[in-house]
């Protein structure tokens, strides 16, 4: 997907009534055109969230993040640097992410943080307390690694629709760097078409999309519980760089983020 392809996609999404776009990854701040993609979405009246590991933030990124209508999201794992970096796999990631969270708070940029339970005995309570000390005032949610794709701790690629949130494709869709459309970033094996050959509306109203949606268990009042979230942990799920999530939060206040409490039947 070229920059112009993303612009066309954003135009189509806005015309369909999408109200929010999430730039995720991989790591979206590495995309050379991210500031322009943010500007284009804002000019269409869309709200923008950038889901970043907040490790390397260039000055041009901060200028883009400072715009009204832009918010940030990140994952945080521990208040212990060694444990945090064991999970992320990046030396120095703890200090840089921590410093950039503090910088976002200083600038008044809306920021939500998610805790993801990965290791036995992980200091998630300490991480939550540290985020509060850094000035994160919003809801801090807790999720678990899901047995999907790279999140499968057995090291085998595994696709289980029951691990999805149950809302995938209903009020959101994800577009991969090659233009392939899937119900969410956690269900990339359920491909429904490509915006390089069809419009977004044609894909979402097509038979192939309906077939993909049919295999996803849906949440029902009083029915079987499925996980509450489809927002991944960047380092365990590793969606391909440049994935865009189109998200329309429900009127009840639910959003595209991990749940505050562990999802049903958590592994930990």
- What is the C-alpha separation between 215 and 166, in angstroms, rounded? 10
The whole-model pTM stands at: 0.77
For 167, phi then psi, to 5°, come to -110, 0
196 and 187 in contact (C-beta within 8 Å)?
no
- Predicted confidence at residue 187, as pLDDT, reads 77
Structural domains of the chain in order of their starting residue, each with its CATH number: 3-145 (3.20.20.70), 157-218+227-232 (no CATH)
- What is the C-alpha separation between 216 and 214, in angstroms, rounded? 6
- Does pLDDT of 104 surpass 90? yes
pLDDT, tens digit, for every residue of 183-223? 888 778 888 899 999 999 999 999 998 888 787 777 654 44
- What is the C-alpha separation between 128 and 142, in angstroms, rounded? 9
- Predicted confidence at residue 64, as pLDDT, reads 97
- Predicted confidence at residue 125, as pLDDT, reads 94
């Amino acid at each position: 997907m070229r920059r112009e392809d993303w612009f066309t996609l954003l135009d189509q999404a806005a015309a369909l009534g999408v109200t929010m776009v999430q730039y995720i990854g991989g790591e979206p701040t590495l995309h050379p055109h991210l500031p322009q993609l943010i500007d284009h979405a804002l000019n269409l009246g869309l709200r923008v969230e950038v889901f970043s590991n907040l490790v390397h933030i260039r000055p041009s990124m901060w200028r883009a993040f400072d715009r009204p209508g832009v918010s940030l999201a990140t994952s945080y794992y521990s208040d212990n640097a060694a444990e945090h970096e064991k999970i992320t796999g990046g030396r120095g990631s703890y200090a840089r992410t921590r410093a950039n969270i503090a910088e976002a708070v200083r600038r008044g940029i809306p920021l939500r943080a998610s805790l993801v339970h990965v290791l036995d005995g992980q200091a998630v309570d300490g991480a939550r307390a540290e985020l509060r000390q850094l000035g994160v005032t919003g809801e801090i949610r807790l999720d678990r690694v899901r047995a999907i794709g790279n999140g499968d701790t057995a090291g085998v690629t595994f696709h289980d629709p029951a691990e999805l949130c149950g809302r995938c494709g209903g009020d959101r869709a994800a577009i991969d760097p090659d233009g392939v459309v899937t119900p969410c970033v956690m269900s990339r094996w359920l491909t429904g078409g490509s915006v390089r050959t069809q419009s977004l509306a044609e894909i979402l109203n097509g038979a192939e999309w309906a077939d993909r949606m049919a295999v996803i268990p849906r949440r029902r009042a009083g029915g079987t519980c499925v996980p509450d979230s489809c927002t991944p942990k960047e380092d365990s799920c590793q969606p391909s760089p440049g994935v865009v999530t189109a998200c329309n939060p429900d009127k009840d206040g639910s959003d595209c983020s991990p749940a505050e409490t562990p999802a049903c039947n958590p592994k930990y």
